[in-house]
A and B are shown apart, each in its own frame.
Chain A
């Protein structure tokens, strides 16, 4: 609101259209860059969604590009499809406390039961391995304990399902973007249990709000506190700490010397806000780490030291020792109470919890942050190498609106650079984007996400599993290397031949159950369905020359006819391949238009279609967005 008056005045004078609310109006200048409305619609779908579904660009035209884009920016469209598909996933709404006490690894399970006296140290020797395992399984069932793999299965599934089917596509892209920006990884054991709530509570609700909000939410979430070790960073430079140390028995946890851990403090400046060249020094890292000492996680394990802490709840003592806000805990007695200087700003002694909050605010509004964040957004949505001018324009809006992400996105969409013809299909899809765009382009039905997820990993993108805090690099050269492209081609072939378990698509239905008359025809038809974007003429011409080769046609028939042969290379070598060929082929031919056909011919036709579609999905043009 602070900017209301001046902006209004400027707005009425200058030609920049500024609305009454102080928000910029969405005005996408695609025509100025010579794009047709259809091209603009396709570009929008390519960049603000995980890929167009069949016929979606035309839908955009009829509803209006501005309206569609505004809906995506507002991200509050009803999503009954998602509600339906996720209905069976019972872990998605659980609290951290329930999760850490329910999804236990084997070691934790054994400890719980040993404590309860239901297992003893020599149980394994006494019972033998198999009975021991059975015993544990039964005990787990009785106590309602589950394996962490089940939690992770649901986490992976919800991401894939939302990306494929949500109406609020931009929200899914932004969730992916911010998660990657504030990356945490399952590869770090302690973090694993919290990844689900991290995305749900810290990232997802804050994707299009103020940057400072998402920064603080990530800083205080257990996943981040554990991942970058701030949870264990502490100091003994604290009066109360010293007093307590004298009071407690020698074996108390409180007796332990606390030490500074700079990991989070460094990464929050380098990776989350200022950027590596953002103008901070090693001393700023140490000082910020000191300001964040005592920022940790509320103990939640039953029977652990959390239980002891909870007993103290309400006591006068506890309020002074620690305060909690959700699952974030400020452990006052581990906070360095001395004075600090961060990026030239003095923080007087005894600043407590507030000092860290203020420091995050200082980082959020720093000019380096505006540039760093806007460049990253531009790289994600515009091109691998956005111009300094575009970044500066976005950064100006970012700063003016106190880090309003939605407004920054509007500034990006209002720029001419976003719409330059050279940007169309200039970015390379990440493996996740390839997989999801394939599902969307073919109206595929995703029933089980395990194998699809495995393909993402195989192509180089282990979801929620990028170990370093940098997140996946967002540039083509990371995804495209020798080896990786072969996996992409194989994905295309496996997908179209219905060889990936848990996902199926009816290729003939995509063409209203009209069976293509020739391979040539199939190519034209399915290119148009799968890659409506831009001018595909050239691409189709290249392929056509190949499929028109008459000997190729007969070779293809011959090759496909021997599909059932058992001695195949691939069958033996790929554990992930399904066995759906036989089941799928007749099913695919069951469209009304094909009812009179002989099964053998149907098999051939759907095989040809699958071959053509596989080649299209694996082709270089389909790797671009």
Chain B
């Protein structure tokens, strides 16, 4: 414990976290120990999962009671009766896809909420644009340099640590780009200077590099080098290597499962992570999407089982963790000519946490008759994504200034 001061951030780093006041002085708690209140202020950890490719919200949480749905997508329609009860009836209107079975208990317990009809006011049906707008948090401006999660880190009102914002991806996602430190790493085990031989050689190489990066005239390299070494020193690789999830938490061996498992490690190491980011792909289901079985069902099961394993693994930490999912838009209400769905407008998202007012589908969805649909084809956006993101950031990250979080947004917040 005597060396903890070595983990403290340097003056240069404090300078970087401009305007936040005070000299940062956090100390890491011993990883693995539970419930040590760290001296730096950390509200909670918000885990965001981006479902890239536009998830069919009408299939994940299906408004089966609307007869229009059966008319418009006869081959994709599911009801509790038709699926012999496999479709989990949430409230007589919506049913949870059977693949979400591992998450349904959390809905029943009131810890998971669904928001339906959610999306962006910008009508683009381009994945790239829509993701960009959702991640920048400014659906009408492309020139916003920072991502909304990066701004959130800066608005928590206290100093950041090198692990404040972590993305389990190779490159930093748009959501986390910006003025505040954010770290992108695909595999925590690679977060070390690797020397074949013994750790001593690695340490020495690390020392050499640290001094070199400290002295370079290129500010960006200097800064990133510094942050990397600080993060590296904080991370106990032995814990990463020997990590065992809580018994019963079985992560799928998929990219999302792996990402969430590493997020769980970081939460338990208690190194100040407030925002974690993971991705899930394969949602662009133009062809043979299937119903209770098929490509969509498989992908959704991976999604569900990964989150369920994570939540189980978070036993003892669940009060401090919130999970929120997001996807750039939804898909057409009608099925297309190839057993799939095309790019649409609104979709749904999930929020999971002990203090979430769950067990409920939040929505303002109307009837799905053609005339009520957007452009006669799509589920209209009745809930702006910013109203959910903003409320979650406010409640779970203590972000007070939501006007700075979502510049230009004047709508209400949807508190869950």
Contacts and interface: CB of A to CB of B under 8 A. Distances in A.
A622 to B, nearest CB: 10
Contacts of A396: none
Interface string B201-227: 110111111011101101011101101
Interface stretch (B72-80, B177-185, B296-304): B177-185
A556 B201 contact: yes
A476 B216 CA distance: 15
Interface string B28-64: 0000000000000000000000001000000000000
Interface stretch (A304-312, A348-356, A404-412, A566-574): A566-574
A487 B188 CA distance: 12
Interface in A564-603: 565, 568-574, 577, 581
Contact of A458 (B170, B172, B211): B170
B218 A620 contact: yes
A559 B198 contact: yes
A399 interface: no
A619 B212 CA distance: 6
Nearest to B197: A563
A110 to B, nearest CB: 15
A375 interface: no
Nearest to A616: B212
Contact of B190 (A263, A481, A572, A573): A573
Contacts of A267: 126
A482 interface: yes
B221 to A, nearest CB: 4
A252 B209 CA distance: 66
A483 B198 contact: no
B237 A569 contact: yes
Contacts of A478: 171-172
Contact of B231 (A482, A552, A562, A577): A482
A133 interface: no
A624 B192 contact: no
B191 interface: yes
Contacts of A555: 200, 204
Nearest to A618: B209
A552 B189 CA distance: 27
B208 A543 contact: yes
B182 A485 contact: no
Contacts of B198: 559, 562-563, 565, 568
B221 A469 contact: no
Contact of A619 (B129, B185, B209): B209
Interface range on chain B (Cβ under 8 Å from partner): 35 or more
A65 interface: no
A399 B126 CA distance: 31
A572 B128 contact: no
Nearest to A552: B204
Contacts, number: 166
B197 A620 contact: no
Given A481-B182, A543-B212, A623 B221 contact: yes
Given A428-B220, A542-B215, A485 B170 contact: no
B337 A256 contact: yes
B218 A428 contact: yes
Given A458-B170, A462-B170, A484 B195 contact: no
Interface in B112-132: 126, 128-129, 131
A542 B211 contact: yes
A487 B220 CA distance: 16
A392 interface: no
A175 B222 CA distance: 31
A621 B211 CA distance: 12
A482 B205 contact: no
A274 interface: no
Interface in B207-259: 207-209, 211-213, 215-216, 218, 220-222, 224-225, 227-228, 231-232, 237, 241
A489 B205 contact: yes
Contact of A489 (B162, B193, B222, B227): B193
Which of B143, B205, B232 lies at the interface centre, i.e. has the most chain A CB atoms within 10 A of its CB?
Answer: B205
Nearest to B143: A276
Given A482-B184, A489-B193, A562-B198, A428 B221 contact: yes
Contact of B189 (A428, A497, A568, A573): A573
A542 to B, nearest CB: 5
A584 to B, nearest CB: 11
Given A490-B193, A570-B194, A276 B142 contact: yes
Nearest to A561: B197
Given A428-B218, A559-B201, A485 B224 contact: yes
Contacts of A489: 193, 205-206, 209
A614 B183 contact: no
Contact of B128 (A469, A499, A546): A469
30 contacts: A267-B126, A276-B143, A428-B218, A457-B170, A481-B182, A481-B183, A481-B184, A482-B181, A482-B182, A482-B183, A483-B191, A487-B190, A497-B196, A539-B212, A559-B197, A559-B198, A559-B201, A562-B200, A568-B196, A568-B198, A569-B194, A573-B241, A574-B194, A577-B194, A611-B201, A615-B208, A615-B212, A623-B218, A624-B218, A624-B221
Give the 4 A-B CB pairs with smallest separation, nearest first: A620-B216, A559-B201, A563-B197, A482-B227
Interface of B: 52, 126, 128-129, 131, 142-143, 162, 170-172, 181-186, 189-202, 204-209, 211-213, 215-216, 218, 220-222, 224-225, 227-228, 231-232, 237, 241, 337
Given A266-B126, A487-B190, A542-B211, 6 more contacts: A460-B171, A468-B128, A485-B221, A486-B232, A489-B206, A568-B199
